[in-house]
Amino acid sequence: MYSLELRLSLSCYGSQSFFKGIVDSGLGFHLQYDMALLEIRVYPDPVLRNVAEEISEVTDETLKLVADMVETMRSARGAGLAANQIGIPVRIIVLESEAEKGPAKEALVVCNPVVVSQEGEDVGEEGCLSFPKFYEFVKRSNKVHVKGETLKKEPFEIICEGHLARAFQHEIDHLNGILFVDHLSPVKKSLFKKKYLKSEK
Ligand code: NI
């Protein structure tokens, strides 16, 4: 029921870290970029605790950022990425759409996303690109209604369940400086801190 997806057609031109990307902006023109992989900030980088700012205007720079975020997410084999995970504190998330299969990939891109209602409960395993090799079970709502804006600054709306609902909750949390480990029980949280921070040293 979402109203628009940003279509990203990506093709690799040889080099591992740079791709030519064509962004269909949805505005009737295409932008070509040399897409770059961005550095993903890893816990406990303090930038992950920043509350991201609303996007009031979509510029060429925003489109370039989005294209790079999608490329970075895919290269890292993530299911989603929030802009503050690459150190840019703005309210943009990119997600792999569940429906996508095959080589013509599309990503979901949402500006200023908000969960407006939620229902049910679901416990599922989560990971995060900001926590390499750490996975844990997290309780979330099973179904969410999310509103936001497309890159055309048109209303975006989706009601979804399961993996996609989980991904939206995880990524929107990022924009508010909340991390998936914050949802763990106190016991699991302290185990996480001991294990994870130790293994990072
Ligand atoms: Ni994450």
Structural contact between residues 94 and 67, judged by C-beta atoms closer than 8 angstroms? no
Rounded distance, CA 137 to CA 145, Å?
22
Three-class SS state of 115: strand
Token pair for 136: 């844990």
131, 36 Cβ separation under 8 angstroms? no
Condensed to tens digits (0 to 9), the pLDDT of residues 144-200 reads 999 999 999 999 999 999 999 999 999 999 999 999 999 999 999 998 888 887 765
Give the pLDDT band of residue 36 (cuts 50, 70, 90).
confident
CA of 24 to the centre of ligand 1 (A): 26
Q: How far is the CA of 128 from the centre of ligand 1 (A)?
A: 4
Q: Is the pLDDT of residue 5 over 50?
A: no
What amino acid positions are annotated as catalytic residues?
171
- Cα–ligand 1 centroid distance for 80 (angstroms): 7
- Is the pLDDT reported for residue 117 higher than 80? yes
Handedness of CA 137, 106, 150, 70 (dihedral sign): positive
Average pLDDT over residues 108-116: 96
